């Protein structure tokens, strides 16, 4: 088969380090009947060992040539190839009755939009194992008070338990990316997790807070700060976005929501 020329616009850095491939598959620990979706199979580095362990695998690949290669190589009974931009894929259609396991060495140029896209389907997901830029994973798992703590940390931590598993050096890929990568495990929090009363308002508060992360929260949320009982929420008046925990952001959004609903005339 002709050599594939890596396409930069699709974030193509192919894994070539067998020890890393083995470690990722071991972390996923696929079991025969699992319903796994691989995002960006590329030249099959993970696809081959996953298929060896599974009855069936679904992959989502945007690159027409790579999708055609996969269709030629495997029968449709073993491998379903969805040729699409993953950001447009409705994962609830893939999940059907059983929970999905989502995996992939992701295209780094779309990591944040993809993580937010997938969060919509977290109710139907068992777990996610992704290779990403290490810097992004550091932000995903960052705790309050750290300079990595960001909108991504708060939004994802409100929905998933996350664990950074191991780093992957640039030499493990062809062509090598300019950055160090890492692997993360994400497990959706259970149904009875703490949830904001109004998800959209919670997201709005977090976006606004981190939009001006160097400012004191009281100032960046100045439109609302008159309505906020900072003391009652145990948030110091001098706090900045990065000092506030996920639980406190939820409480903040809930307090605003309750005020809005109680002041709405009937
Ligand atoms: N899994 C392979 C590996 O580990 O060697 C390839 C990983 S490469 C970093 C990312 C893969 O995602 C490429 O195959 C690329 O074509 C595909 N891709 C990029 N953008 C995509 C998108 N929006 N939707 C689906 N696949 C995409």
**Do 180 and 216 sit in the same domain of this protein?**
no
User: Burial of 69 by CB count in 10 Å (0-12 exposed, 13-18 middle, 19+ buried)?
Assistant: buried
Q: What is the CATH number of the domain that holds 94?
A: 3.40.50.150
**Do 181 and 214 sit in the same domain of this protein?**
no
- 221 belongs to a structural domain: yes
**Do 172 and 254 sit in the same domain of this protein?**
no
Check: CB of residue 82 under 8 Å from CB of residue 89.
yes
Domain boundary among 137, 162, 188: 188
- 46 belongs to a structural domain: yes
pLDDT reported for residue 113? 96
Among protein residues, the one with the nearest Cα to ligand 1's atom 1 is 41
**Do 62 and 143 sit in the same domain of this protein?**
yes
- 227 belongs to a structural domain: yes
Of 15, 59, 62, which is best to mutate to test ligand 1, by the most ligand atoms within 8 angstroms of its C-beta?
Answer: 62
Give the chain as a 3 state SS string.
CCCCCCCHHHCCCEECCHHHHHHHHHHHCCCCCCCEEEECCCCCCCHHHHHHHCCCEEEEECCHHHHHHHHHHCCCCCEEEEECCHHHCCHHHHHCCCCEEEEEECCHHHHHHHHHHHHCCHHHEEEEEEEEEHHHHHHHHCCCCCCCCCHHHHHHHCCEEEEEEEEECHHHEECCCCCCEEEEEEEECCCCCCCCCCHHHHHHHHHHHHHCCCCEHHHHCHHHHCCCCCCCCCCCCCCEHHHCCHHHHHHHHHHHHHHHHHHCCC
- 61 belongs to a structural domain: yes
**Do 127 and 254 sit in the same domain of this protein?**
no
- 3 belongs to a structural domain: no
Strand partners of residue 166: 183
Stretches in the chain below the pLDDT threshold 50: none
Among protein residues, the one with the nearest Cα to ligand 1's atom 6 is 42
Give pLDDT tens digits for 137-170. 999 999 999 999 999 999 999 999 999 999 999 9
**Do 90 and 149 sit in the same domain of this protein?**
yes
- 210 belongs to a structural domain: yes
**Do 24 and 104 sit in the same domain of this protein?**
yes
pLDDT reported for residue 266? 52
CA 190 to ligand 1 center in whole angstroms: 30
**Do 43 and 69 sit in the same domain of this protein?**
yes
In the chain, the number of structural domains is: 2
Tell me the pairing of strands 181-188 and 160-168.
antiparallel
Q: What is the CATH number of the domain that holds 205?
A: 1.10.8.100
**Do 243 and 116 sit in the same domain of this protein?**
no
CA 38 to ligand 1 center in whole angstroms: 9
pLDDT reported for residue 262? 78
Domain boundary among 159, 188, 217: 188
**Do 173 and 214 sit in the same domain of this protein?**
no
- 182 belongs to a structural domain: yes
- pTM of the predicted model over 0.75: yes
CA 216 to ligand 1 center in whole angstroms: 40
**Do 170 and 241 sit in the same domain of this protein?**
no
pLDDT reported for residue 213? 87
**Do 183 and 238 sit in the same domain of this protein?**
no
pLDDT reported for residue 11? 86
Domain boundary among 188, 221, 251: 188
The range of the structural domain enclosing residue 212 comes to 199-263
- 1 belongs to a structural domain: no
Atom nearest to 109 CA in ligand 1:
20
Residues flanking ligand 1, CB < 6 Å: 10-15, 40-43, 45-46, 60-63, 66, 85-87, 105, 107, 110
pLDDT reported for residue 96? 72
pLDDT reported for residue 44? 96
């Amino acid at each position: 088969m002709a050599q594939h020329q890596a396409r930069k616009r699709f974030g193509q850095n192919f894994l070539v380090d067998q020890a890393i491939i083995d470690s990722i598959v071991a972390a996923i620990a696929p079991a025969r009947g699992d319903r796994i979706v691989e995002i960006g199979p590329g030249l099959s580095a993970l696809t081959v060992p996953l298929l060896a362990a599974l009855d069936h695998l679904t992959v989502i690949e945007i690159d027409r040539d790579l999708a055609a290669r996969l269709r030629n190589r495997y029968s449709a009974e073993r491998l379903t190839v969805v040729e699409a931009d993953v950001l447009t894929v409705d994962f609830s259609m893939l999940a059907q009755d059983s929970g999905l396991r989502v995996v992939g060495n992701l295209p780094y140029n779309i990591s944040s939009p993809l993580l937010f896209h997938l969060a919509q389907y977290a109710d139907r997901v068992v777990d996610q194992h992704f290779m990403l830029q290490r810097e992004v994973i550091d932000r995903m798992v960052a705790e309050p008070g750290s300079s990595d703590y960001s909108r991504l940390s708060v939004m994802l931590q409100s929905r998933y338990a996350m664990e950074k598993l191991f780093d992957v050096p640039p030499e493990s890929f062809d062509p090598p990316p300019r950055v160090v990568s890492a692997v993360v495990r994400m497990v959706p929090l259970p149904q009875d997790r703490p949830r904001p009363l109004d998800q959209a308002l919670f997201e709005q508060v977090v976006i606004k807070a981190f939009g001006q992360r160097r400012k004191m929260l009281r100032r960046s949320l100045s439109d609302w700060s008159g309505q906020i009982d900072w003391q009652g929420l145990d948030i110091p008046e001098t706090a900045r976005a990065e000092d506030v925990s996920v639980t406190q952001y939820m409480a903040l959004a809930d307090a605003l929501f309750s005020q809005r609903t109680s002041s709405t005339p009937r």
